[in-house]
Amino acid sequence: MPIFAVHYVYSDSTIAERDTHRPEHRTWLAALVESGTLLSSGPYPDGSGALLLFRSDDAGQLKELLARDPFAREGLIDDVRAVEWVPVMGAFAP
């Protein structure tokens, strides 16, 4: 199953709302980890966004999944870039 690298971009204007919705966002993420859909995720140290690594059949399925993220639902993500990624070495390589 393909792996996708998803980059979220955040702005300073959404900090307070992200803090409010972070518990629900992380609960959503934890369920995806449990199911094997989400391989890893975490914010960038400068607060500008986050990187999430997903397994998904295709980009369309991933887009539908990302729309259910509480951060997306609340309009707290300024931009999303999702690209298929092909690891050849390391922890995520076949």
In this predicted model, what pLDDT tens digit does every residue of 26-67 receive, in sequence order?
A: 999 999 999 999 999 999 999 999 999 999 999 999 999 999
In this predicted model, what pLDDT tens digit does every residue of 63-74 receive, in sequence order?
A: 999 999 999 999
Which pLDDT belongs to residue 94?
A: 82
Which strands, in side-by-side order, build the sheet including 3-9? 38-43, 49-55, 3-9, 79-85
The residues facing 84 across adjacent strands are 4
Rounded to whole angstroms, the Cα distance separating 93 from 87 reads 5
Dihedral pair phi/psi, residue 71, rounded to 5°: -65, -40
Residue position matching structure tokens 């980890």:
33
Contact 73, 34 (CB under 8 A): no
Is residue 45 within a helix (H) or strand (E), and if so which, with residue range? none
Which pLDDT belongs to residue 43?
A: 97
Q: Half-sphere exposure of 92 toward its Cβ, with a 13 Å CA cutoff?
A: 17
| Domains of the chain, each with CATH number or no CATH | 3-85 (3.30.70.1060)
pLDDT band at 1 (very low <50, low <70, confident <90, very high): confident
